[in-house]
Amino acid sequence: MKDTFRYQGVADQSELAAYFRALAEGLERGEFVAAENDRTFSLSPRGLMRLTLKARRKEGRSRIIVALNWDEEAPPTPLLDDLEEGAQ
């Protein structure tokens, strides 16, 4: 089943930085929630993820595309601290 959420908007550097911090916090927490109007979209990032980062400059315009992919059925990946504690 395909379920999508898409948002496009215009923001300054400070607003975009806050958006990416919220994304990072969601990754650490294991839950990312996006909302617009009356719609909420939730994802549960876990396990090993694939990161794709593309950057381009052409004719005075620049673009950065960031994509994260993961298998929703993957077990969570233990944190390094958890692994080190288990070894003791």
Contacts of residue 66, Cβ cutoff 8 Å, sequence gap at least 6: 51, 52, 53
- pLDDT band, very low/low/confident/very high, at 55 (cuts 50, 70, 90): very high
Q: Is residue 30 part of a domain?
A: yes
Domain count, the chain: 1
Q: Is residue 60 part of a domain?
A: yes
β pairing state of 39-43 and 50-58: unpaired
The whole-angstrom separation of Cα 30 and Cα 37 is 23
- Whether the model pTM is above 0.85: no
Find the domain containing 35 and state its range.
Answer: 13-83
The whole-angstrom separation of Cα 61 and Cα 21 is 24
42 in Cβ contact with 31 (< 8 Å): yes
Q: Is residue 43 part of a domain?
A: yes
Task: Give the tens place of pLDDT for each residue, 22-44.
Answer: 999 999 999 999 888 888 899 99
